[in-house]
Amino acid sequence: MIKTIGVLTSGGDAPGMNAAIRAVTRAAIAQGLQVKAIYRGYKGLIDGEVKSFTSQDVSGIIQRGGTILKSARCMEFMTPEGRKQAHKVIQKEKIDALVVIGGDGTFTGGRLFAQEYDIPVIGLPGTIDNDLWGTDATIGYDTSLGTITECIDKLRDTATSHERVFLVEVMGRDAGFLTLNAAIAGGCEAAIIPERAQVKEQIEEAIGSGKRKTKSSSIVLVQEHAVEGGAATVAKMIEKIHPEFSTRVTVLGHLQRGGSPSAYDRILASRMGVAAVQALLDGQRNVMVGIQNDDIVLIPLSKAIHQKKDVKEDSWQALLTLSI
């Protein structure tokens, strides 16, 4: 029987993680359970950085970006010895189940731990990359998309004032969701993404002399890992093919992670947090809470981690069609 739930955030931080921590904590307390907050992800689990949480501990955080529990990348948890130490802390703290908020690395670690020590683990998808299979959206994605779009709007003002091609480097690990959808939202000329790495063709389409004449500005988004060297490499390619254009590179970097979560991310995190607690009470284990067509779904962690989510073909086509 589950009496105490442990909750942690791990991997890269994402806006809305705090809303998820709040939801898990309050939903658990509402069900008469205890909550133990674990600081610094799996590192804190190994080091015993654990604190009992009350409802008040999560007040005033729903609107805050980042994570009050801190996040960390922890190599030690990737070793059997590290996980053994983590299990000792679980026993000492009498934690019966874990809710882990993070991305695929976090889920991989959680799943391994669950298998080795027979502890129920529920994953909440907390990553700006939106790269987890089985969920339409991840916590933090919508906010990040909004931030990137706002940056593009600002760059557009300068871009229209000069004969320059602006290249904007966008985060996303191995996935192009942020880049493609921000390109659509920002009315960009092209998006270089790992899923459709037609770099030269896109450059030609977007800024090749024919079309370029009808355009007053060009903004091309480049996913950080679509091309080795990112936006700087694409800038060099453009200047080589079209020496008549000068390029400017903007790397958005960690700006994309910060800020107050959007209403959508707060609602998503709240619904998912409540669903995670309910799933544990229903006897579920080793699943990710996802959202599909606005319905909460439970997806085996193995599928969420291993299946590849592709960008939508119609989105890709929309960008190509609308960037004429």
Catalytic residues, by residue number, are 129
Contact 165, 238 (CB under 8 A): yes
By beta-carbon proximity to ligand ATP, the closer residue of 10 and 181 is 10
Q: Which of 42, 141, 177, 316 binds ligand ATP (CB under 6 A)?
A: 42
User: Mind giving me the DSSP string for 261-318?
Assistant: PPHHHHHHHHHHHHHHHHHHHTT--SEEEEEETTEEEEEEHHHHHHSPPPPPHHHHHH
Q: How far is the CB of 288 from ligand ATP (least distance, A)?
A: 12
180 token code pair: 């493609």
**Using rule CB under 6 A, residue 70 touches ligand ATP:** no
Q: Find the helix packing angle between 17-30 and 263-281, rounded to 10°.
A: 40
Which among 97-105, 147-155, 217-225, 266-274 is the span making contact with ligand ATP, rule CB under 6 A? 97-105
Q: Which is nearer to ligand ATP, 66 or 103 (CB)?
A: 103
Closest C-alpha among 262, 252, 255, 253 to residue 64: 262
Segment interacting with ligand ATP (CB under 6 A) among 106-114, 242-250, 290-298, 310-318: 106-114
Give yes or no for residue 112 binding ligand ATP (CB under 6 A).
Answer: yes
Give the C-alpha separation, 324 to 305, whole Å. Answer: 37
Q: Which of 15, 50, 66, 77 binds ligand ATP (CB under 6 A)?
A: 77
CA–CA gap between residue 160 and residue 175 (Å, rounded): 29
> Which residue of 108, 143, 179, 217 would you call a contact of ligand ATP, by CB under 6 A?
108
For residue 80, give every residue at least 6 positions away whose Cβ sits within 8 Å of its Cβ, in sequence order, or none.
Answer: 116
Size of the site for ligand ATP (CB under 6 A): 19
Smaller CB distance to ligand ATP: residue 79 or 198? 79
Query: Does 185 participate in binding ligand ATP (rule CB under 6 A)?
Result: no
Considering only CA atoms, which of 255, 258, 270, 269 is closest in space to residue 14?
258
- DSSP structure string for 124-167: EEB-TT---TT-S--BTHHHHHHHHHHHHHHHHHHHTTTTEEEE
Nearer to ligand ATP, 42 or 316 (CB): 42
Residue 130: closest CA among 167, 179, 169: 179
CB of residue 261 to ligand ATP, shortest distance in Å:
15
Instruction: Pick from 6, 66, 103, 290 the residue near ligand ATP by CB under 6 A.
Output: 103
Binding ligand ATP (rule: CB under 6 A), the pick from 6, 9, 10, 40 is 10
Count other C-beta atoms under 10 Å from residue 245's C-beta: 16
Q: Least Å distance between CB 307 and ligand ATP?
A: 15
Q: Which is nearer to ligand ATP, 71 or 323 (CB)?
A: 71
Which one of 40, 173, 196, 266 is in contact with ligand ATP (CB under 6 A)?
173
Dihedral of CA 154/160/163/165: which sign? positive
**Residue 131 corresponds to which tokens in the numbers above?**
């790269």
For the bound state, the minimum distance from the C-beta of residue 10 to ligand ATP, rounded and expressed in Å, comes to 5
When binding is defined by CB under 6 A, the residue of 9, 25, 67, 127 that contacts ligand ATP is 127
Cβ atoms of 180 and 200 closer than 8 Å? no
Q: Which of 106, 147, 181, 247 binds ligand ATP (CB under 6 A)?
A: 106
Which residues of this chain interact with ligand ATP, rule CB under 6 A? Answer: 10-12, 42, 73-74, 77-78, 102-106, 108-109, 112, 127, 129, 173
